[in-house]
Amino acid sequence: MRSSQLLSGDKSDHMHLAARMIQSGGLVAFPTETVYGLGADALNPEAVGKIFAAKKRPVFDPMIIHIAELKTLMTLVMIDPQHRRLLMTLVETFWPGPLTLVLPRRSLIPNVVTAGLATVAIRMPAHPMALALIREAGTPIAAPSANPFGCVSPTMAHHVLKGLGDHVDLILDGGPCPLGVESTIISFTNGYPKLLRSGSLSMEDLEAVIGPIAQINHSKGVPCAPGQMARHYATRTPLTLLPTRGNRPAVSPGEQIGLLALSSSCDSDRYAAVEVLSPSGDLKEAARNLFAALHRLDAMGLDRLWAEPCPEFGMGTAIMDRLRRCAVQESVSNDDETTTFDQDKQYC
Ligand code: AMP
Ligand code: MG
């Protein structure tokens, strides 16, 4: 066991150190505009293997590769001429930003990154520290969220320290992540764009640019794509997603309930703790605060958490996706998730 180093990401010598750590096969946690990533050289299979070990992530769950230049994309993926225009429109409109594209991969990418799939997920993050790290390391960086597998994602450096501190060589602190929810993932592998995971780029914004996108099916217990587990983003304290907003069930005497409220709550004295995601009900602000609020509530040792639902448009879609998966009870079998995923399978 070792203590990782927490360094401020805005000092150039810290950035050099972090880049050298990546080059020498180490693990660096760094801020992105979505959540903190746990990064390793994407072209070094041993380094990527350390990510799986640190997170206790199942090897069938592929990672997203982060790049800083568009020209790197062409070295990692093959683009079907039929999709080229649509893809370029997406990339020019939304990169750098919270959009991940799943595309047929080139052989340069180690199998461990893609869990043996013929496709790879790529994103160009918008956070200046993430871009600086990738550029300075001079290699694409594979980086899932910097938290133990299945747990609440980190949006602050101290979340990484708490969850993975002993397993990371270095943490670059860039303050709170400005968007707060993971990237939106679109696949281009079945001849048309398909949403694999809702995220910080809203469907409305995406569809305004490229037209209708096939939607994922939220059927309980069935992963929609490799890594899209029914239970994920989970607090240790059991969480119940309430059916409606405002109309909350009675609290049993002696029961310690923590409430995750979308907007200002008037009966807050009934609860052991209340986290308001956005006093005005603004969905972007709510998304930004979601994971940090879950971390705080989870640290209080309460009996149960209640989460209010939010409207499912804009960032509300991604918030509800995370809350649903946090709320799935242990009794929901995740047996399907040990399945080996293959390229041709329709996941939903
Ligand atoms: P995260 O763990 O938040 O970095 O997200 C990584 C997720 O991206 C995985 O759990 C998968 O759901 C998705 N992903 C990565 N690579 C692929 C791929 N080749 N095909 C489909 N989904 C992928
Ligand atoms: Mg994650």
Ligand having the closest approach to the CA of 63? 1
Instruction: Give the distance, in angstroms, between the CA of residue 252 and the centroid of all CA atoms in the same chain.
Output: 35
3-state secondary structure of 259: strand
The per-residue pLDDT for range 219-236, each reduced to its tens digit, is: 544 455 666 777 788 899
CA quadruple 32, 36, 41, 45: dihedral sign: negative
Ranges of residues in the chain with a pLDDT under 50 are 1, 220-222, 330-348
Q: If one looks up domain 239-341 in CATH, what number appears?
A: 3.40.50.11030
The per-residue pLDDT for range 150-198, each reduced to its tens digit, is: 999 999 999 999 999 999 999 999 999 999 999 999 998 776 889 999 9
pTM of the model: 0.92
Query: Residues with beta carbon inside 6 Å of ligand 1?
Result: 61-64, 102, 114, 117, 119-121, 144-145, 182, 185, 187, 196-197, 225-228
Looking from the CA of 54 toward its CB, the CA atoms found within 13 Å total: 33
Q: Where in the chain is the domain with CATH 3.90.870.10?
A: 5-215
Ligand 1 pocket: which of 36, 57, 64, 141 to mutate (most atoms <8 Å of CB)?
Answer: 64
Q: Where in the chain is the domain with CATH 3.40.50.11030?
A: 239-341
Which residues contact residue 260 at a Cβ distance below 8 angstroms, ignoring those fewer than 6 apart? 239, 275, 277, 293, 294, 297, 305, 306, 307, 308, 323
Ligand having the closest approach to the CA of 196? 1
**Is 5-215 CATH 3.40.190.10?**
no
Q: What residue owns the CA closest to ligand 1's atom 6?
A: 63
Ligand 1 pocket: which of 52, 61, 155, 182 to mutate (most atoms <8 Å of CB)?
Answer: 61
Q: What is the pLDDT of residue 341?
A: 37
Q: What is the pLDDT of residue 83?
A: 85
Instruction: Provide the angle, in degrees to the nearest 10, between the axes of the packed helices 283-298 and 157-164.
Output: 30
Q: Which atom of ligand 1 is nearest to the CA of 182?
A: 3
Residue type, 70: L
CA 254 to ligand 2 center in whole angstroms: 34
Instruction: Provide the angle, in degrees to the nearest 10, between the axes of the packed helices 316-327 and 283-298.
Output: 20
CA 144 to ligand 2 center in whole angstroms: 6
Ligand 1 pocket: which of 63, 106, 179, 321 to mutate (most atoms <8 Å of CB)?
Answer: 63
CA 302 to ligand 1 center in whole angstroms: 32
Ligand 2 is an ion; its neighbours by CB within 5 Å are 145
